[in-house]
Amino acid sequence: MNTPAKHQPNILFLFSDTGGGHRSATEAIIEALNLEYGDQYRTEMVDIFKDYAPPPLKMLPALYPRIVRAPQAWGLGYHLSDGPKRVSVLSASAWPYVRSSYRRLVREHPSDLIVSVHSLANEPVLRALGHERPPFVTVVTDLVSVHASWYHRWVDLCIVPTEAARRRAIKSLLEPEQVRVVGLPVADQFCQPPGDVEELRQHLGWPTDRPVVVLVGGGEGMGPLEKVVQAISKVNLPIALVVIAGRNKALKAKLEANDYPMPTFVYGFVREMPDFMRAANVLITKAGPGTITEALNAGLPMILYSHLPGQESGNIPYVVSDGAGVWAPRPDQIVGALRNWLDNTEQYDRTVDACKKLARPNAARQIAHILVETLEKHKRKKEFSVA
């Protein structure tokens, strides 16, 4: 007699490549599920725009890098659409247009649990699911300035990264018991202890006799990287400088063609950022939530030089007010911040301690446990109702 195969619960993750944070957070949670539970749960990822949305919404992932290059217009749109009532009106207006697409999504992806890692997935997918649906959990990937579209009263649980995000959820009409503060999920490599930093630097080919400063401009090599490099070179600070130009090949070639008074290493797109952060003393970056979280986990003080108006606006006071970094939007201010830390090691050490206090390296694994608990609770409730 054949034993029936045990059902492997399926967890559906909804995300979109409108910015790197949604995908990386999703992949971090799936990685944590695999680390904690092996192959007990099946997972799948669906890009809510690219895979299912009707045009022109389908084109949003491709257009997003261009859209955010007009930050003031982006910020205006963000603030004009923010607020529970505004989100409700906009969602109701869009529903007739997207209804068939998202009903097809839930039809083609039967799931035991749905996890939304994108704010614009919540309303249409919950409408498409109807009343008889699996548990629906939202994982918010913005740290502080969280748009109201992230919060939907029908969700079973909303997981947020900070206390400020929790307060925003309550203000957006969620019940306190619907909200859990856990942290922002990042890849497990960013959550490991530093190990032997000198050995790591030797492996990377970096100096071990001076502080190392890492300058990043995201995957696309955006931001004032060249101007910052010039400003640091001009004053010849006693540091080693690591510049990550990302996919910006023209910038990488331009930087590599120059001579520098201090040891300088120029990279394109890299996958060694966990090692880079563990081996560095300072990170110069825009105020993106994922990068901030990764740096906090590494105990790496930050100099923030820009932010995307709207969802990244609150990240600056979040870092600065807790002493984990400084805001320096001009190259000369960046140089001043570096000088200050070089001259005042006690203040620098306090900044390292502040980073460690804000860090939540177990967030992804905690979220994995919460998802499994939610799934099992729903399963028991379903079995009880049938009995």
Same-domain status, 275 and 334: yes
Whether residue 1 is contained in a domain is answered as: no
Whether residue 281 is contained in a domain is answered as: yes
Residue 56: cis peptide before it, omega within 30 degrees of 0: yes
Same-domain status, 66 and 100: yes
Same-domain status, 298 and 168: no
Provide the pLDDT for residue 384.
64
Same-domain status, 104 and 203: no
- Collapse the DSSP code of 54 into the 3-class scheme (helix H, G, I; strand E, B; otherwise coil) and give the result: coil
Whole-angstrom distance, CA of residue 125 vs CA of residue 117 = 12
Q: What pTM value is reported for the model? A: 0.94
**What's the CATH code of the domain at 45?**
3.40.50.2000
Same-domain status, 240 and 94: no
Whether residue 4 is contained in a domain is answered as: no
Same-domain status, 145 and 201: no
pLDDT 10s digits, 209-218 = 999 999 998 6
Same-domain status, 132 and 217: no
Provide the pLDDT for residue 259.
92
Provide the pLDDT for residue 4.
53
Provide the pLDDT for residue 3.
54
CA dist list (Å): 310 to 97, 252, 337, 340: 26, 30, 25, 30
Whether residue 5 is contained in a domain is answered as: no
**pLDDT-flagged residues of the chain (< 50):** 1
Whether residue 373 is contained in a domain is answered as: yes
Same-domain status, 285 and 270: yes
Whether residue 3 is contained in a domain is answered as: no
Quote the number of domains for the chain.
2
Q: Which domain holds residue 79?
A: 10-184+362-386
The 10 Å Cβ neighbour count of residue 353 is 13
Same-domain status, 196 and 318: yes
Whether residue 139 is contained in a domain is answered as: yes
Contacts of 106 (CB under 8 A, 6+ apart): 125, 128, 129
Provide the pLDDT for residue 385.
62
